């Protein structure tokens, strides 16, 4: 039921967000200690501002009130995806080619579920990543979670 709500929310808000030249990166719909939370992650070239988040929060709030698909109280949060941006869409693996990422699989390959390495891109619907000199390929369907893992230097 909750997964269906998440998919319906994504379906009705993605186009209005895109019309503002902002990308819907991902969303979370989950029960937390204080109640239900709808967390929406957005991005655009150059990054999003607090004003962008406020604007999208207003748009999404109006849409959800009108569509009436959430039948309980909830908290709406809109933010940037952060430094460890989730990789959700096929296009993300092309866009972030050459970047370091951590990928967690649903089904292990060679006894492993977790891989951290450099994204090489997508080839025939397989994500390619180089880990310690070895190239691994994963189907998008087998990826449970993937995030950028930027290297930060404090000099």
Q: Of 47, 29, 49, 48, whose CA–CA distance to 39 is shortest?
A: 29
User: Lowest-pLDDT range, 44-48, 126-130, 142-146?
Assistant: 44-48
Residue 40 Cα distances to 1, 55, 81, 88, 133, angstroms: 19, 12, 9, 13, 36
Mapping DSSP onto H, E and C, the string for 101-130 reads EEEEEEEEECCEEEEEEEEEEEECCEEEEE
Domain final residue pick, 79, 104, 138: 79
Number of domains composing the chain? 2
Residue 96 resides in a domain: yes
Alpha helices by DSSP H, the chain: 2-18, 50-67, 90-95
Give pLDDT tens digits for 69-125: 898 999 999 999 999 999 999 999 999 999 999 999 999 999 999 999 999 999 988
Residue 155 resides in a domain: no
Same domain assignment for residues 69 and 95: no
Domain final residue pick, 79, 103, 127: 79
Residue 85 resides in a domain: no
Give me the chain's average pLDDT, please.
Answer: 94
State the pLDDT at residue 125: 87
Q: Which domain holds residue 7?
A: 2-79
Residue 154 resides in a domain: no
State the pLDDT at residue 3: 79
Q: Rounded CA gap, 108 and 116, in Å?
A: 14
Domain final residue pick, 24, 46, 79: 79
> What global pTM score does this model have?
0.83
Same domain assignment for residues 63 and 127: no
Residue 153 resides in a domain: no
């Amino acid at each position: 039921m909750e997964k269906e709500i998440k998919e319906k929310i994504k379906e009705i808000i993605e186009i209005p967000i895109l019309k503002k030249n902002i990308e819907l990166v991902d969303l979370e719909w989950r029960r937390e200690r204080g109640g239900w939370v709808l967390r929406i992650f957005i991005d655009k070239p150059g990054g999003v501002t607090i004003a962008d988040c406020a604007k999208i929060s207003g748009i999404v709030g109006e849409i959800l009130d009108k569509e009436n698909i959430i039948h309980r109280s909830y908290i709406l949060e809109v933010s940037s995806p952060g430094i460890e941006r989730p990789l959700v869409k096929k296009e993300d693996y092309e866009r972030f080619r050459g970047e370091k990422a951590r990928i967690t699989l649903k089904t292990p390959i060679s006894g492993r579920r977790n891989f951290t390495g450099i994204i090489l891109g997508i080839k025939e619907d397989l994500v390619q990543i180089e880990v310690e000199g070895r190239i691994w390929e994963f189907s998008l369907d087998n990826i449970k979670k993937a995030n950028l893992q930027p290297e930060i230097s404090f000099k």
